[in-house]
Amino acid sequence: METSYKRRRFLHRLGQAAMAVPSISFLSMDAYGSNLYTGRSMEEIINPQQNKKLGIALVGLGSYSEKQLAPALQTTLRCKLTAIVTGSPDKAAKWKEKYKIPDKNIYNYQNFDSIKNNPDVDIVYVVLPNSLHAEYTIRAAKAGKHVICEKPMATSVKDCEAMIKACKEANKMLSIGYRLHFEPHNMTMAELGPKKTFGPLQKIIAIDSQEMDPGVWRLDRERAGGGPVMDLGIYCVQGALYTAGKNPISVSAKEGAKTDVDKFAEVEQTMDFQLHFPDGLTANCHTSYAEKGNLLRAEAEKGWFELQPAYGYEGIAGRTSNGKMDLQNVNQQATQMDDFAGCVLNNKPTRVPGEMGLRDVKILMAIYEAARTGQKIPLKL
């Protein structure tokens, strides 16, 4: 009863998205014959493996777990919340009650490795401050679990490589929490650019800025690995790359002036950076913790297309020089987690693998190097 209700809701979600696209065919099939946004083949959508839901353990019960992932996991078809990992007994009690999590599925950071013996957990989702992503991804892989790791994948290229190696050695899948790869507007940008629907691209503009409260780990270099570049600039990098449909060959960057030197004592307040693509195309990107901005825009020979806002959990809106993008917003986190569960269940590669996270961290590190040196930094991706 409950499952069929959820299934109806999902089909409703999918149907809404499918019906709302008069001119842009975003419901294309990927290499596996799966729907681009759900990873499900039509056969799987019509006849999902009702009884098989993978168990997910959320590691770190901060804002993103509490407000986005756990609620999304109440709507997923292929996976469900079965365990939590937290350092706070208060949070453990609250989550236990709210989500009916048995004591045997509640872990802390010390006894986390014993999750190895828990058959209720198939996937560990690492939702910790950036500097802890590598440690918990590697520990999860060693415990024999598949892993979703939040963005940015890690605070160094070396850590990303170690995470990929650990998952390979354990024969477990690793994906990054790149929810926008499951978002219709963003994936429409990823179709319009490479397909040259408006002709060859001439320019990409990507802006992601948010005001940041003082005293949080995101302003602490050790735990965040950097400032807005790591947290928000990564969306500009991602947006530019999927809109261009290719990787950049070099980057240049300039750090903006600090208007609050105390708040931004350890990390940049603002960064402007350019991603240079092989055919002369440039993406002009801007990210800041001291203003608001949210845009992904492409200008091409025969028109333009853009999202504003582009990167939020909901309310994404798109326009082109031919008119509005008539697309629905979906529950990105539910679709992303269901897609990964589907990949695990069907032994198919994820669209957002660790290698993509590594590529992006290489670009983020090159942005910092470019800003530090004033040089254009070549990329080997």
- Radius of gyration of the chain from its Cα atoms, rounded to whole angstroms: 20
Task: Tell me the Ramachandran region of residue 196: left when phi exceeds 0, alpha when psi lies from -120 to 50, beta otherwise.
Answer: left
**Considering the complex, what minimum distance in angstroms separates the CB of residue 28 from ligand NAD?**
24
Closer residue to ligand NAD, CB minimum distance, 128 or 337: 128
What is the number of the residue whose Cβ is closest to ligand NAD? 62
**38/336 with CB nearer ligand NAD:** 336
DSSP for 195-230 reads TTTTSSEEEEEEEEE----TTSGGG-HHHHSSSHII
**What's the CA angle centered on 144, arms 38 and 137, to 5 degrees?**
70
**What's phi and psi for 71, nearest 5 deg?**
-60, -40
- In the complex, least distance from residue 6 CB atom to ligand NAD, rounded to whole angstroms: 23
**CA–CA dist 306, 208 (Å, integer):** 14
Comparing CB distances to ligand NAD, the nearer of 48 and 152 is 152
For the CB of residue 109, give the shortest distance to ligand NAD in the complex, in Å: 7
Q: Active site includes 235?
A: yes
User: Which of 177/354 has CB closer to ligand NAD?
Assistant: 177
Q: Whose Cβ is closer to ligand NAD: residue 63's or residue 347's?
A: 63
Q: What residues are paired with 300 via a beta bridge?
A: 201, 303
Of the two residues 21 and 157, which places its CB atom closer to ligand NAD in the complex?
A: 157
Q: Are 166 and 147 in contact (CB under 8 A)?
A: no
Residue closer to ligand NAD, measured from CB, 176 or 377? 176
Q: Between 60 and 354, whose beta carbon lies closer to ligand NAD?
A: 60
In this structure, what are the phi and psi dihedrals at residue 377, rounded to the nearest 5 degrees?
-105, 120
Interatomic CA distance for residues 319 and 189, integer angstroms: 10
Q: Shortest approach of ligand NAD to residue 57 CB, angstroms?
A: 14
**Footprint of ligand NAD (CB under 6 A):** 60-65, 87, 127-130, 132, 150-151, 177, 179, 217, 223, 231
Q: Which listed residue (145, 151, 178, 242) is catalytic? A: 151
Contact 136, 128 (CB under 8 A): yes
**Residue with tokens 């002036």, as numbered in its chain:** 257
Query: How near is the Cβ of 179 to ligand NAD at its closest, in Å?
Result: 5
CB of 341 to ligand NAD, least distance (A): 17
Spatial distance between the Cα atoms of 16 and 19, rounded to a whole number of angstroms: 5
User: Token match 């992932």: residue?
Assistant: 69
HSE of 268, CA atoms in CB hemisphere, 13 A: 28
Buried b (16+ CB within 10 A) or exposed e, 158-191: ebbbbbbebbeebebbbbbbbbbbbbbbbbbbbb
* Exposure letters 103-130 (e unless 16+ CB within 10 A, then b): eebbbebeebeebeebebbbbbbbbbbb
Q: Which of 37, 64, 136, 235 is catalytic?
A: 235
Active-site residue numbers?
151, 235
